[in-house]
Amino acid sequence: MSPGATMRACLLAVPGELRLCTLPVPSVGPRELLVRVLTTGVCGSDLATYRGTHPYKRAPAVLGHELCGVVERLGSEVRGLAPGDLVCATAYSPCDVCAACSEGAPHLCSAKRSLSQAGFDGSFAEYVAVAENMAFKLRSDLDPVLGALVEPLSIAAHALKLARRAPGASLAIVGTGSIGLCTVVAARALRFGAVVCLDRDPEKGELALAHGATGYADVRAPGALVRAQKLLGGHADVVAVCSGHPEALDDAAALARPGGQIIVVSYFTERVAVDLNTIVGRELAVVGSALATPGDVAEVIDWLEVDGLDPSNIVRRRFALKDAALAMEAVERGSPGKTLIDLTGATS
């Protein structure tokens, strides 16, 4: 059935208030496509926008960017896609002309447009308009849950591909929320060696171990960092920071080997004091990781479609669109695993 003039969407009217409302179905420009949303993940950045602490996304906005859906309508200049195609998307549309884009780093484009920003509505809706350079075709029989995981998995893959590492390098992951879990999955696909996670919930540890982590340390327990090092067999070659907790960077510095590397994936809501003496004294490299490139997304799609990777049980909760506020509450509580808004009717 072709889309009508209006659709249901969840609008963040003001921080802390998601409303199910009726909005116009987005129009599409010449290089855009209209996607009927099947599944969309709830991300930590959605939570930050919901709280009013995101660095650049503000209410009012329709949240959501980890989407999978079906192409309904194409702009006149879109090539390589057709109505009925299953697609996923990146969270941003680069300008394609600036220096960063020309140098193969569109994720660093200073003129990029991001979903849920400045009137570019996101995927907590029955339909979403995305730019052609955001969309990636998926195999028609791919589970839409996996399609919605492509974006967070690509974030994790991009971060770990920044690592200076030898084959079998050890990895510590500080923070085992949904991006931390995706980092475990990506680490296995990229053939890291020992992978040890740190967080404060036993269920998060169970999920991490189920997805390929070799160890887990609960940071609430005395000596958690020492335990993590024992599980790693020493200090970590690489530490991925997937938590916005103020102490996460100091924990990462303590875990990294001399000459090792810290990759920071998380955003922080406030300025963080860091023990620079440890970083300097151990000659640690600290690298920020932003978004993902089209190449990262294509690689993740190959993991799912060619290699048969199936991390769909990262998703622990599914909510209907009308219950998006409940989904956000689950994320705000720090519930283990991934939270998904499912528009196919398969909610639980």
Residues 144 and 22 in one domain: yes
Residues 210 and 137 in one domain: no
Banded pLDDT at 345 (limits 50, 70, 90): confident
**CATH code, domain carrying 230:** 3.40.50.720
Q: What is the pLDDT of residue 186?
A: 98
Q: What is the pLDDT of residue 105?
A: 97
Q: What is the pLDDT of residue 153?
A: 98
Banded pLDDT at 346 (limits 50, 70, 90): low
Q: Is residue 348 part of a domain?
A: no
Residues 63 and 212 in one domain: no
Residues 140 and 226 in one domain: no
Banded pLDDT at 328 (limits 50, 70, 90): very high
Percent of the chain's residues with pLDDT above 70:
99
Q: Is residue 214 part of a domain?
A: yes
Which of the listed residues 288, 309, 327 is the one where a domain comes to its end? 288
Q: Is residue 347 part of a domain?
A: no
> Are the CB atoms for 237 and 261 separated by under 8 Å?
yes
- What is the end-to-end Cα distance of the chain in Å, rounded? 26
Q: Is residue 183 part of a domain?
A: yes
Mean pLDDT score of the chain: 95
Provide the domain count of the chain: 2
**CATH code, domain carrying 54:** 3.90.180.10
pLDDT in tens, 108-152: 999 999 999 988 999 999 999 999 999 999 999 999 999 999 999
Residues 218 and 301 in one domain: no
Q: What is the pLDDT of residue 77?
A: 97
Which of the listed residues 288, 314, 332 is the one where a domain comes to its end? 288
Q: What is the pLDDT of residue 4?
A: 82
> Are the CB atoms for 52 and 158 separated by under 8 Å?
no
Other C-beta atoms closer than 10 Å to the C-beta of 4 total 10
Residues 131 and 170 in one domain: no
| Residue 1, CA distances (Å) to 20, 72, 185, 243 in order | 22, 9, 37, 42
| Residue 79, CA distances (Å) to 71, 83, 164, 210 in order | 13, 11, 37, 40
pLDDT in tens, 84-95: 999 999 999 999
Q: Is residue 333 part of a domain?
A: yes
Q: What is the pLDDT of residue 145?
A: 98
Residues 276 and 338 in one domain: no
Domain range for 247 is 163-288
